[in-house]
Amino acid sequence: MNAKDVITLARQNVGAISANESSARLCLADAVALYDAGFIIEAKRRALYSLAYSLGKFSRVYVRASAPSFHN
């Protein structure tokens, strides 16, 4: 999954767990800023952090998004 797809998933799931919503939003904002600046790999990493805060690392969405890909 590329960085843009992961950012989209993070946007769709931000706030899924209200206790971690602020952390998820901060990571998402960082991901968007990094993507816009051309730091694609770092943007994907921050978007994954956002998903981890929103859904957890064991959710199907996170596992699918974090799977290795040959393009960012």
pTM of structure: 0.91
What does the pLDDT read at residue 19? 77
The domain limits of the chain are 3-66
Dihedral angle, C-alpha 39, 62, 12, 6, nearest 10 °: 30
Q: What is the pLDDT of residue 20?
A: 85
d(CA 21, CA 25): 6
CA angle 30, 36, 18 (to 5 degrees): 30
Q: Which amino acid is at 40?
A: I
pLDDT of residue 62: 96
The pLDDT tens digits along the chain (72 residues) read 999 999 999 999 997 776 789 999 999 999 999 999 999 999 999 999 999 999 999 999 999 999 987 665
Residue 72's pLDDT is 57
